Chains A and B, each alone.
Chain A
Amino acid sequence: MKTRKPRQSMVALFGVVTVLSLVATGCSATDATGGTDGETVKLGAILPITGPVSEWGESNGAILKMLQSDVNADGGINGKQLEIVIYDSGAKGVEAGNLVRKLASEDNVLAIMGPFTSSEAEVAFPVANQMKIPMTSQASSKPGVAEANRPWAFRNTVDESIYLKAVVPAMVEATGAKDITIAYDSADAVGSSLGTKILPSVLEGAGLKVVNPDNPVTFGTTDIDLKAQAGTIASGGADAVGVGAFYNGAAKLLRAMDQQGLKTPIFGGSTLVSANILEAAPDIPIFSAGTYYPGVESAEDWTKRAVEVFAAEKVPGAPTMFDSQLYEIGLMYVEAIRAENLDKEDLVAAREGIRDFMTNLKGFDGLTSKISMKESGDASRDFFVIRGEDGAWSELKKVSP
C-alpha cells in the first residue's frame, strides 16, 4: 500500500481546507447592505426542524412558508417580495448561536424569528445583542430570558409561571387534587427550571402539598426506562403530577405510568402542548395552557389554512400555539417594515427600526388576542387553560393579563 510522507499529507490537508474555506466564503458572500436587495425583503428564522422537538420545528417551517405566501399574495412589503431564510438548529444552543451570526452577517436579514427553546435562547439572544439584530422567540418561556438580553431580544410567549398560576387552580377544580408529585427532566434547562423553581413556587402559592419536596422524580430527555419513575409516582399516592419537561419526555413518562395502570392526571406549562403527547396515554388527563389551540374560534380561518398547508407539506398533526405565535412574529416584523418604510433604510437603521417597533408594541392584532410588549421583552396577551384527553385538546377557560 502506498503511504504518503507525513509532511506531504499535512500540505495536502492544508490545501484542501483552504480551498473549501474559500469556496464556502464565496458561496455565502452577500451584499453588505443586504436585507433588501431591491426585489426582496429578507427575514431569518432558526427552527428545531430536527432533534428532540422536531414536531414543533417541522410545523413551524410549514407555517413560515404559509406566512411568506400570504404576505406576497397581499402585495409583498411595499412592493417587494418577502423571503424567509430558514435554518435548522436541531434545538442545540451552540448551533442557534452560530446561526444568528450567519443570518446577521452573511444572509443580512433584517430580523430573526426564533429560536425555539429557552436553552437555545440563552445562547442565541446574547449573540443577537452583539450583532444588534432583533430576535423574537415563538416558544421560549423560561422566566427572565428575554429580560436578561435587552434591548434586542423579545419573546411572543407567556412566562411559564404565569401559565401555571392559571393551570393549577383549573386542574384542582377539575380533579379535586390536594397532594402533588413533581417530576421533571433534569437534563433540560426548561424542565429543571420548571421542576425545581416554578412548580414548587406556584404550588406553594396555591396551598397544595408536594409529597416529594426534597426528592422530586427526575428523568433524562433520552432516558428509555421510566418504569422506576412511574413506580415512585404510584407509591407516592399523589392526586396529580406536576411535570416539568417538553412533550417528548413527558410522553414517555405518561406511557410508563399508563403501563403500570396509573391514571393520575398530569399538569404543566406550555411545553406539554403537542399532538404527540396525546398519543402516549389518551386516558390520562393533561392540564396545560397556551395562547392557541386548534378549534379556537377567533383563529378559525387561520387554522383551516394552516391545516391545508400542513397536508400539502406532509406535516403530521395540527397547528399549535408555537405556530400561531411564530406567524404573529412574522406579521409584527412585516408591519414594522411596512409602517416605517424600513425596506428603504440601510441594514443598521432597518434593524433598529424593527427593534423600536417591537419595544413599543401596544395592542397589536394577534390571531387570538391583542398583543403588547412588556419592558421585560415578553409579550402581554390572553391565553387559554386547556385539557388534553382522548386524543384532543379542549378549552377550560380564557385568561387575560
Chain B
Amino acid sequence: MLLQLIVNGLLLGGIYALVALAFSLNMGILGVLNLATPQIFLFGALVGLDLLNGQVPFVFVLLGSMAIGGVLALILELVGYRFVDKSDIVVTLLTTVAFGLVLENIAERVWGSQAQFFPKSDLASRIDLGPVNVSAVQLLGIGLAIVLVAGLAATVNRTALGRSLRAVAQNRDAAVILGLRVRRAEVATFLISGVLAGGAGLLLGLNYGVISLDFGITIGISGIAAMILGGVDNLWGAVVAGPLLGLATVLGTSYLGANYNNLLVFGLLAVALVVRPQGLLGKTSHHVYRRV
C-alpha cells in the first residue's frame, strides 16, 4: 500500500511539475507571475475532452490541448503583457488575473460548472508492475514532463532562442540595447508555458477521469508552490519539487486525512523556504532579483 501511494504521489507530481514549469518560465524569464495558467490548464483539459468525445486519435487530442494552451497564452501576451508597463509587476499580475477570470467565465458558459467525465480509455487502464500498478497516462505524464524539460533545457542552453531567453531573464533592457530579439523571446516564453499548461490539463483529466472548474485553483496553487519550492530561477527545480509535492499530497491525505493535507503540504513548503529561501535548486547569487 505505501509503495502504491508513493508511486501515485510521484506520478501526480509529474503533472504538478508541468504546471510548475509553465509558471517558472514566465516568472523566471519575464518576471511575470501568470495567474491565468490554471485557466489555460482547464481549457486544455476541456478542449481535449471534447476532442476525445469526437473520436479524434489521441495524438491529435494531445496536440489540440497543447495548441489551445499555446493560443490562449499568445492572446494573453498580446492583450495583457505586450503593451502594459512592464516595470510595474503588479500591473502584469493583475492583467493575468483578469484574463484568467475571463477564461473561467467562458469555460463556465460553454461547458457548465459541473464535473465533466472523461470516457473510459485504454490509457487509464492499470498496468501491474510487481507490487504496484500504474496507468499508461500516468507514465505518459511523467515521461512527457521529462521530455519537455529536457527539450526546454536543450533549447535554453544550445539555441539562439535560448540565448535570447537567458539574456532577457538576466536583464531585459540590456538585451534590447544589445539588439537581441527580445520580442521573440517574450512571445516564445508565453507560447511554451501555454503549451505546457494545456498539455498538463489533458493529462490530469485523463489520469483522474474527470475535470471540474475548481481543479484550476487547486492545480494553480500546487504549481506555484512547486515553482517556489524548486527555485523560481531554475527549470529543473520544478521537476524536482513537483513530485515532492505530489508525494506530500497523497501521503498526507492517506495518513492524516484530507483536513490536514494543505497544512502538511504548505507547512513543509514554509519550512523548506526557511531553511533554503532560494528554493531547492535556486541560485543564492545576489544578482538574482526577487521577482515577487
Using CB atoms and an 8 Å cutoff, list the residues of chain A in contact with chain B.
Answer: 1, 50-52, 54-55, 58, 186-187, 218-229, 231-232, 235, 248, 251-252, 255-256, 258-261, 276, 279-280, 316
Q: Secondary structure of the B side of the interface?
A: helix
Residues of A contacting B212 in the complex (Cβ-Cβ under 8 angstroms): 248, 252
Q: Which of B196-236 contact A (CB under 8 A)?
A: 204, 208-210, 212, 214-215, 217-219
Q: Which of B1, B124, B217, B218 contacts A231 (CB 8 A)?
A: B1
B214 touches A222 (CB 8 A): yes
Q: How far is the CA of A258 from the CA of B114 in the complex (A)?
A: 19
B261 touches A223 (CB 8 A): yes
B5 proximal to A (CB < 8 A): yes
Q: How far is the CA of A226 from the CA of B258 in the complex (A)?
A: 10
B8 touches A227 (CB 8 A): yes
A222 touches B258 (CB 8 A): no
A224 touches B261 (CB 8 A): no
A1 touches B85 (CB 8 A): yes
B117 proximal to A (CB < 8 A): yes
> Smallest CB-CB separation from A56: which chain B residue?
B114
> Smallest CB-CB separation from A220: which chain B residue?
B258
B259 proximal to A (CB < 8 A): yes
A228 touches B250 (CB 8 A): yes
Q: How far is the CA of A13 from the CA of B249 in the complex (A)?
A: 43
Q: How far is the CA of A177 from the CA of B243 in the complex (A)?
A: 39
Q: Which of B111-128 contact A (CB under 8 A)?
A: 112-115, 117, 124, 126
Interface residues on B, range: 20 to 34
Q: How far is the CA of A1 from the CA of B85 in the complex (A)?
A: 10
Min distance, Cβ B189 to any Cβ of chain A, angstroms: 25
Q: Which of A222, A248, A256, A260 contacts B218 (CB 8 A)?
A: A222
A-B contact pairs, 21 of them (CB 8 A): A54-B113, A55-B112, A55-B113, A218-B257, A222-B214, A222-B215, A224-B204, A225-B8, A228-B8, A228-B253, A231-B1, A231-B254, A232-B254, A251-B117, A252-B208, A255-B210, A256-B208, A256-B209, A259-B126, A259-B208, A260-B126
Min distance, Cβ A319 to any Cβ of chain B, angstroms: 15
A186 touches B117 (CB 8 A): no
B258 touches A186 (CB 8 A): yes
Min distance, Cβ B193 to any Cβ of chain A, angstroms: 21
Min distance, Cβ A189 to any Cβ of chain B, angstroms: 13
> Smallest CB-CB separation from A184: which chain B residue?
B258
B171 proximal to A (CB < 8 A): no
Residues of B contacting A229 in the complex (Cβ-Cβ under 8 angstroms): 253
B50 proximal to A (CB < 8 A): no
Q: How far is the CA of A225 from the CA of B214 in the complex (A)?
A: 13
Question: In the complex, which of the residues B114, B204, B219, B249 has the most CB atoms of chain A within 10 Å of its own CB atom?
Answer: B114
A231 touches B257 (CB 8 A): no
B17 proximal to A (CB < 8 A): no
A316 touches B112 (CB 8 A): yes
Residues of B contacting A256 in the complex (Cβ-Cβ under 8 angstroms): 208-209
> Smallest CB-CB separation from B105: which chain A residue?
A50
B12 proximal to A (CB < 8 A): yes
Residues of B contacting A280 in the complex (Cβ-Cβ under 8 angstroms): 115, 117, 210
Residues of A contacting B214 in the complex (Cβ-Cβ under 8 angstroms): 52, 221-222
Residues of A contacting B114 in the complex (Cβ-Cβ under 8 angstroms): 54-55, 248, 276
8 closest residue pairs by CB, A with B: A54-B113, A228-B254, A218-B258, A55-B114, A222-B214, A220-B258, A255-B209, A218-B257
Min distance, Cβ A62 to any Cβ of chain B, angstroms: 13
Min distance, Cβ B191 to any Cβ of chain A, angstroms: 26
Residues of B contacting A224 in the complex (Cβ-Cβ under 8 angstroms): 204, 208, 215, 218-219
Residues of A contacting B261 in the complex (Cβ-Cβ under 8 angstroms): 220, 223
B8 touches A252 (CB 8 A): no
Known: A54-B112, A227-B250, A229-B253. A255 touches B258 (CB 8 A): no
B113 touches A50 (CB 8 A): yes
Q: How far is the CA of A1 from the CA of B126 in the complex (A)?
A: 59
Residues of A contacting B253 in the complex (Cβ-Cβ under 8 angstroms): 218-219, 223, 225, 228-229
Known: A186-B257, A186-B259, A235-B1. A225 touches B208 (CB 8 A): yes
B210 touches A231 (CB 8 A): no
Q: How far is the CA of A219 from the CA of B262 in the complex (A)?
A: 12
Q: How far is the CA of A50 from the CA of B104 in the complex (A)?
A: 11
Min distance, Cβ A124 to any Cβ of chain B, angstroms: 21
Q: Which of A55, A221, A251 contacts B210 (CB 8 A)?
A: A251
Q: Which of B243-261 contact A (CB under 8 A)?
A: 249-250, 253-254, 257-259, 261
B115 touches A223 (CB 8 A): no
B113 touches A252 (CB 8 A): no
A259 touches B209 (CB 8 A): yes
Residues of A contacting B210 in the complex (Cβ-Cβ under 8 angstroms): 251-252, 255, 280
Known: A54-B112, A186-B258, A218-B259. A228 touches B5 (CB 8 A): yes
Q: How far is the CA of A51 from the CA of B114 in the complex (A)?
A: 8
Q: Which of B67-123 contact A (CB under 8 A)?
A: 85, 108, 112-115, 117
B155 proximal to A (CB < 8 A): no
Q: How far is the CA of A58 from the CA of B218 in the complex (A)?
A: 24
B157 proximal to A (CB < 8 A): no
B159 proximal to A (CB < 8 A): no
B284 proximal to A (CB < 8 A): no
A231 touches B4 (CB 8 A): yes
Min distance, Cβ B18 to any Cβ of chain A, angstroms: 14
Q: Which of B129-148 contact A (CB under 8 A)?
A: 135
Q: How far is the CA of A225 from the CA of B254 in the complex (A)?
A: 11
B208 touches A276 (CB 8 A): no
> Smallest CB-CB separation from B251: which chain A residue?
A228
Residues of A contacting B126 in the complex (Cβ-Cβ under 8 angstroms): 259-261
B113 touches A259 (CB 8 A): no
A276 touches B115 (CB 8 A): yes
Q: How far is the CA of A36 from the CA of B261 in the complex (A)?
A: 51
Q: How far is the CA of A224 from the CA of B219 in the complex (A)?
A: 9
> Smallest CB-CB separation from B87: which chain A residue?
A1
The interface bits of chain B over 252-290 (1 if a CB of A lies within 8 angstroms of the residue's CB, else 0) are 011001110100000000000000000000000000000
Q: How far is the CA of A51 from the CA of B113 in the complex (A)?
A: 7
Q: How far is the CA of A248 from the CA of B117 in the complex (A)?
A: 11
Q: How far is the CA of A252 from the CA of B253 in the complex (A)?
A: 15
Q: How far is the CA of A226 from the CA of B250 in the complex (A)?
A: 9
> Smallest CB-CB separation from B246: which chain A residue?
A225
Q: How far is the CA of A235 from the CA of B4 in the complex (A)?
A: 12
